[in-house]
Amino acid sequence: MKKINEIFYSLQGEGFHTGKAAVFVRFSGCNLKCSFCDTQHESGTFMSDNEILETISAYPSNMVILTGGEPSLWVDKAFIDLLHQAGMYICIETNGTHSLPANIDWITCSPKEEAPILLKQMDEIKVVYTGQDVSKYLKLKAQHHYLQPCSCINTKEVVEYILHHPEWHLSLQTHKLINIQ
């Protein structure tokens, strides 16, 4: 059984897959306690793997985004295999501090300042920029490096930083800009 906070259908708002329709599976709980955490993830209902599959199969997109909280505390190889057998493409959004099953299709790592990153490889890194030193994240093995303003408040600052550090790309929380979940 896995503790699920919510399952909903929307567009991916951030990073490489921005604009794609996807089923979001939000797992409950996290191993970190970031002061700026704006996700309500603690509450939840226990669901079996098959119940989760049945719920997400009702939507037309085959892209599934496992998020949280911290989804890596819950997912295992058998769960990802089950979703793959149903033809789904599995993305995960993780803080990078906990190991992942090897069969996930797309890994987005959003590192948190004080938490050591365990993952050796990821597809994209997405860092919320608030003026901190982000150069260390360029050493992580990833195809894409995104910097994101904090709730669109400091977009100008992020644009200015990227103009001077073009190895970073801009990611906006587009779902907030167009007021969707």
Kindly list the residues in this chain that would bind ligand SF4 in the complex (CB under 6 A): 30, 32-34, 37, 39, 68-70, 95, 112
CA distance 149 to 29: 24
Asked if residues 69 and 29 have their Cβ atoms less than 8 Å apart, the reply is: yes
* Cβ 50 to ligand SF4 shortest distance, Å: 26
User: 70, 93, 123, 124: which one is catalytic?
Assistant: 93
CA distance 55 to 45: 13
CA distance 51 to 95: 26
91 is catalytic: no
- Side-chain half-sphere CA neighbours of 169 within 13 A: 13
* Cβ 54 to ligand SF4 shortest distance, Å: 26
In the complex with ligand SF4, which residue's Cβ is closer, 59 or 106? 106
175 is catalytic: yes
34 is catalytic: yes
In the complex with ligand SF4, which residue's Cβ is closer, 61 or 173? 173
Sort 116 into a burial class: Cβ within 10 Å, 0-12 / 13-18 / 19+: exposed
* Cβ 110 to ligand SF4 shortest distance, Å: 7
User: Which amino acids are annotated catalytic?
Assistant: 24, 30, 34, 37-39, 93, 175
